[in-house]
A and B are shown apart, each in its own frame.
Chain A
Amino acid sequence: MKDQAANRQDELLEISSGKAEHVYYWHCGHYISPFFMGLRDKKTILGIRCSHCGRVYVPPREVCGRCFKTMHDWVDLGSEGSIYAFTVVKLPYIDPNTGKPIKVPRTDIYVKLDGADTCLMHWLDESDETKITVGARVRAVFKEQRRGTIHDIECFTQI
């Protein structure tokens, strides 16, 4: 049947969904909101400690998944740490938040902030992989105009 169907047609069609925008409004709650306000108002990165196991999480969140305990102990982590891992992205792809291709090369890093047990993901202002080392010291570079998002940090830079 499939062959017969194929014989009836000269071309196989494809229909586009169009370019309609579908905007989401994500709620930040009682943990991510103060985290973003720390970036905006104090140029500092906030974490939270589990009083049960002692792990310091960044970004802060309500529950330590390992202990299933509510966390209350906020920690000011400052803005310095070291590179845990990194990659230099050279393949442009569509940013699902903007619908536009990302700009490359772009270095994505996992920063282990001093005093934290988890990493924060961000960008590094160096895209030559031969000039980046796992373990290198880095510092957050804050924007002049800050509005309470993760992009209040422009990027990290090697110290």
Chain B
Amino acid sequence: MGTRTAIVGVGQTHHTSKRKDVNGQELISEAVKRALQDAALELKDIDAIVIGNMDHFEAINNVDCWSIDGSGAFMKPIMKVTTGGSTGGTLGSCAYYHVASGLFDVVMAIGWEKNSESDTQAAISTCADPIVERDFFGGAIGPNAAEYAMYMEQFGATQEDAALVAVRDHNNALRNPHAHLRKFITVEDVMKSPVLCWPIKLLDSCPRSDGACAVIYASETTAPKITPNPAWVHATAVSHDYVYFGDYDWEMMPTLRTTVDRVYGRAGITDPLKDVDVMELYLPFSTCGVVWMDHMHMCSLGDAPKLIRKGVFDMNGELPINPSGGVLSTNPIGATGLIRLGEAALQVMGRAGERQVGDVRTALATAFGSCYWFEATVLRSTKP
């Protein structure tokens, strides 16, 4: 383990379907200013910056240079990282690595996206192999829809089980002033919404949003000077397993299992339901909120629907998931994973406002890329 590191500040923009009032640099600047304000820091206090998005959405390749005015990186070390949908999680890991290495004291991660500037599904389809799989990919929704069709067949789960997850996340968003979609919905609303890729319907699905998020990481010596309640990083893990989508083992979900096993092991979590107080999970579709619970060791294979029907993951349940409203309510893709980290940090710092879940000692945040890449981070109120 390197230098102990904590999250000390979080800033995010107002997220919505189309931010025509700002260009990309200005959107980034909005999140950066808010993160600096949240940590009561000035730009001179930031030693390095990592920034990321998915190039195909805006067709701008050099965001690290292009956004310097907005990011505050003028004459600072800045590095772009991008791993598709999981970019936001990777940004967090990268900022953590910078500080944990001992080479930098305070580092800012910035994730952003202007999804409204192009056709989201077409841009995402470029993550599938161009000559063998792209034409059969079904956009971002296709693989997850197929995954749930298979899960229903295997374990008798229903579309209503997924709808319960959609209702939970959408209605949690009512407490989050930053959320893009804030509308009360019912299971019936979900079931009646148009089918996008069977069995995934409109209200089972994440929106595409314009937005940005910035999260500030600081070292053991500096973090306590910035805030009395830093969110300490106890573990991060990343695993990728992809050549073709057809290679993926959906029955055992090796990337998700490997990722959570690594962070659970490093953070000493043996029973996530008891050992974790809140989770901010990158669930792009409500169906993922069913299937992935099994592989995150919340229950035995196929038992997730039982926990969901009991409300175990609701705001007042044993382990609240996505008090922010999650990805189903807000999805500026390059920022989405970083928002999970920021929201989890706010919970640990006790600064999540109306969406605060009591006294949070341990929080877990994940990120997911549509090639079945997973990232996870465990944050705690106590130093590792």
Contact = CB atoms under 8 A, between A and B. Distances in A.
Given A59-B244, A121-B246, A89 B138 contact: yes
B146 A108 contact: yes
A28 interface: yes
Contact of A110 (B131, B139, B246): B246
Interface residues of B, number: 43
B84 to A, nearest CB: 15
B153 A24 contact: no
B65 interface: no
B292 interface: no
A122 B136 contact: yes
Given A123-B136, A151-B135, 14 more contacts: A26-B130, A85-B150, A86-B146, A87-B197, A88-B195, A93-B119, A93-B121, A93-B139, A95-B122, A95-B125, A108-B138, A110-B245, A118-B244, A118-B247
Nearest to B202: A91
Interface residues of A, number: 44
B29 to A, nearest CB: 10
Given A89-B139, A96-B134, A6 B149 contact: no
Interface in B240-295: 241, 243-247, 250
Contacts of A26: 130-131
B301 interface: no
B4 to A, nearest CB: 34
B197 A91 contact: yes
Contacts of B244: 59, 118, 121
Interface string B340-384: 000000000000000000000000000000000000000000000
A2 B134 CA distance: 42
A17 B146 CA distance: 34
A111 B122 CA distance: 24
A135 interface: yes
17 contacts: A32-B131, A65-B243, A84-B250, A87-B141, A87-B145, A91-B121, A91-B194, A93-B122, A95-B125, A97-B135, A108-B142, A119-B245, A121-B132, A121-B136, A121-B245, A133-B153, A150-B131
A51 interface: no
Contacts of A50: none
Interface string B192-212: 001111111000000000000
B52 to A, nearest CB: 21
Nearest to A97: B134
Contacts of A120: 246
A144 interface: no
